[in-house]
Structure 1
Amino acid sequence: MWNQQPFLKPDLESGSYEPLYPIMSESPELRWSFIRKIYSIVAVQLLLTAAVGAIVITYDPIVTFLTTTNGGFACYILLIIAPFITLCPLSYYYQRHPVNYLLLGIFTISLAFAVGLTCAFTSGKVILEAVILTAVVVVSLTLFTFWAAKRGYDFNFLGPFLFGAVMVLVVFSFIQVFFPLGKTSVMIYGGLSALVFCGYIVYDTDNLIKRYTYDEYIWAAVALYLDIINLFISLLTILQAADN
């Protein structure tokens, strides 16, 4: 347990001491170290996703095999459900090194294949636009959340609303599978989905700053990574529908 008396960091300009966020009861150096660790893991995940996605997009036999053969279709289904399957053992081994990193790698690579297959049927211009928009939004919301946390704002109340919104999106996506909707409906779905995952970026970043414990770095990284990937897919959906 950390000392309940707040550890303060010096403000060199004013000569006073102030915490990383209000009512902080731990060393800012330790929390910053934890935050840097999470963003380092997420950065590696995103780079791995970009690399795997680029291979899937540029190497045509992969897409051809996965979309035109019976064995490929089975592999495609496996790649889609693999991230969810991997989360089960990850929930048990998330504190055990290096098993947790191995499972996280499997989770990331399998999800990267799914993202790559989605991008394989999209023009390069649309993909680049989605990447730029995602980067701008993620950086902006991250900076805003750190600024807000410094001033005492708390976004924990967003949890139930965001969970309910995700359930609506899941049901809506199933409806689209069985009853395909038009271009306008797809764009509306993409826009709502993007707003929801913007909210999740703020919510999970706030949890990263205040609530995640030091042995939950895997879950913190998974949460932020999923927020970013889902935001990218949502923006890609909007831009792809507008481009058609």
Structure 2
Amino acid sequence: MHGRIVLKALILISVVVCSLTKYNLWASNKSKDFSFFEPILFTSLIILFLTSFMQMFFPLGSTTVVVYGGISSLVFCGYIVYDTDHLFKRFPYDKYILASVALYLDILNLFIFIFHVLRSADN
């Protein structure tokens, strides 16, 4: 049962990451800058952290888990766009390991939250 959910999440992640990367390649050719995302994403991450901390003490139900997972997925899609932009434009050649680790963590977090949404929707 969880194998199907993992496969669905993997397919969704593959489509999302490929489309966001293609968008970022197109945007970098048009000289678009995504550095304005930094304060928005940081504030969103703090709000997500505080919300998950509150859910440890006051469980909010399955509907809230789906909403929280959806909002978290959007935040980490923003982080993928932001970190891919930094990978293309701002990191020097000797710092690509740090950039790839940041991008890997964004993809991993996105996978986890999409998995939670699909698992909650399956129940």
TM-score of the alignment, normalized to the shorter chain, above 0.5: yes
Q: Please say if 1:181 is aligned against 2:55.
A: no
Structure 1 stretches of 5 or more lacking a match? 1-121
1:191 corresponds in structure 2 to 70
1:136 corresponds in structure 2 to 15
Give the Å deviation of 1:214. 1.5
Q: Look up the equivalent residue of 2:57 and give its one-letter code.
A: F
Give the Å deviation of 1:181. 1.4
Give the Å deviation of 1:221. 1.1
Residue 153 of structure 1 aligns to a residue in which SS? coil
1:218 corresponds in structure 2 to 97
The Cα offsets for residues 175-223 of structure 1, whole Å up to 9 and x where unpaired, read as: 1111111111000000000000000010011111100111212210111
The CA distance in 1 between the partners of 2:7 and 2:45, in whole Å, is 26
Residue 154 of structure 1 aligns to a residue in which SS? coil
2:80 corresponds in structure 1 to 201
The CA distance in 1 between the partners of 2:112 and 2:56, in whole Å, is 17
- Following TM superposition, the consecutive aligned residue runs of length 4 or more in structure 1 with deviations greater than 4 angstroms are none
Q: 1:158 aligns with which of 37, 46, 59?
A: 37
The CA distance in 1 between the partners of 2:95 and 2:51, in whole Å, is 32
The CA distance in 1 between the partners of 2:77 and 2:70, in whole Å, is 11
Aligned-residue RMSD, C-alpha: 0.9
Residue 50 of structure 2 aligns to a residue in which SS? helix
The CA distance in 1 between the partners of 2:82 and 2:3, in whole Å, is 31
The Cα offsets for residues 14-35 of structure 1, whole Å up to 9 and x where unpaired, read as: xxxxxxxxxxxxxxxxxxxxxx
Q: Please say if 1:146 is aligned against 2:25.
A: yes
The CA distance in 2 between the partners of 1:216 and 1:160, in whole Å, is 22
Q: Look up the equivalent residue of 1:133 and give its one-letter code.
A: L
Higher helix share: 2
Moved more, 232-241 or 210-219: 210-219
| TM-score with structure 1 setting the length | 0.49
Give the Å deviation of 1:234. 0.9
Q: Please say if 1:172 is aligned against 2:51.
A: yes
Aligned length: 123
Identical-residue share of aligned pairs (%)? 56
The Cα offsets for residues 81-129 of structure 1, whole Å up to 9 and x where unpaired, read as: xxxxxxxxxxxxxxxxxxxxxxxxxxxxxxxxxxxxxxxxx71111110
The CA distance in 1 between the partners of 2:88 and 2:57, in whole Å, is 41
Higher relative CO (CA 8 A, sep ≥ 6), structure 1 or 2?
A: 2
| TM-score with structure 2 setting the length | 0.97
1:89 corresponds in structure 2 to none
The CA distance in 1 between the partners of 2:25 and 2:72, in whole Å, is 23
Which structure: larger Rg? Answer: 1
